[in-house]
Amino acid sequence: MAQPHHDDVFVRELFDKMGPTYGITNVVTSFGFSEWWRYACVNQVSIEAGETVCDMMAGSGECWRYLPKQSVVLSIDFSSFMVEKQHERNEKRGQPVDVRCESALATSIESQSVDVVVSAFGLKTLSRDATRDFAQEISRILKPGGKFSLIEISVPQSSFLKVPYEWYLRKVIPLFGKFCLSDIECYRMLGIYTREFESCARVLPYFCEAGLDVTFSNHFFGCATSLSGTKK
């Protein structure tokens, strides 16, 4: 059974609460790597002009700037605060994104209608069962031959990095949360999710089971990991 901190309502409320400070805290605490990893996530699949791209668990639309201008973009997130931010971001875009406030595990997107799925930093809050459902949902909406790329912050395997990294997750990031949000608990949760998640390698089998060809990659010594590939 999923633990309470993987419950949809808990995760939605967490992001509604963190939303106002998420962007800045994310960049500062990752020393800017989060931007580089979003770029890597989008760029490890080639997106042709005019293709339909779905940004899953899109937050406030942080990945959109890396998507080709000519692509048709669908964006999924269930936090009403994040979705509100997406609408604000949309006003500055030439070609508006189709923003949908709903679960990434059961979207309203038509089957086999999407060329590319991208998702940055959403996997860690999903329980193992929810990850399986997410993999099935990606497979359902992708056209045959469609591509996907998912990236997540991970725990590096080398103990040289792992020990200071875990200390940083446990002690330093919550302090940023306290400083920015006066709430140490929200940002402490991000560390808990990351330590439990470990690496995309742990969830890779679910994506294979869903009929996807999957490649695993490490980014910066495993501080982030990704899964990318195609639907068979």
Ligand X SMILES: C[S@@+](CC[C@H](N)C(=O)[O-])C[C@H]1O[C@@H](n2cnc3c(N)ncnc32)[C@H](O)[C@@H]1O
Q: Which of 1, 106, 14 is nearest to 59 (CA)?
A: 14
Token reading at 70 = 């000519």
Q: Which of 201, 207, 81, 193 is nearest to 142 (CA)?
A: 207
In the complex with ligand X, the residue whose CB is nearer, 31 or 144, is: 31
Residue 111 C-beta: closest distance to ligand X, Å: 18
In the complex with ligand X, the residue whose CB is nearer, 105 or 117, is: 105
Residue 56 C-beta: closest distance to ligand X, Å: 7
In the complex with ligand X, the residue whose CB is nearer, 106 or 163, is: 106
Backbone angles phi, psi at 188, to 5 degrees: -65, -35
Residues 6+ apart with CB under 8 A from 1: none
Residue 103 C-beta: closest distance to ligand X, Å: 4
Residue 74 C-beta: closest distance to ligand X, Å: 13
In the complex with ligand X, the residue whose CB is nearer, 15 or 148, is: 15
Instruction: Tell me which DSSP letter residue 171 carries.
Output: I
Instruction: Tell me which DSSP letter residue 146 carries.
Output: E
Q: Give the binding site for ligand X (CB under 6 A).
A: 11-12, 15, 38, 57-59, 62-63, 76-79, 82, 103-105, 120-122, 125
Do the beta carbons of residue 122 and residue 57 sit within 8 Å? Answer: yes
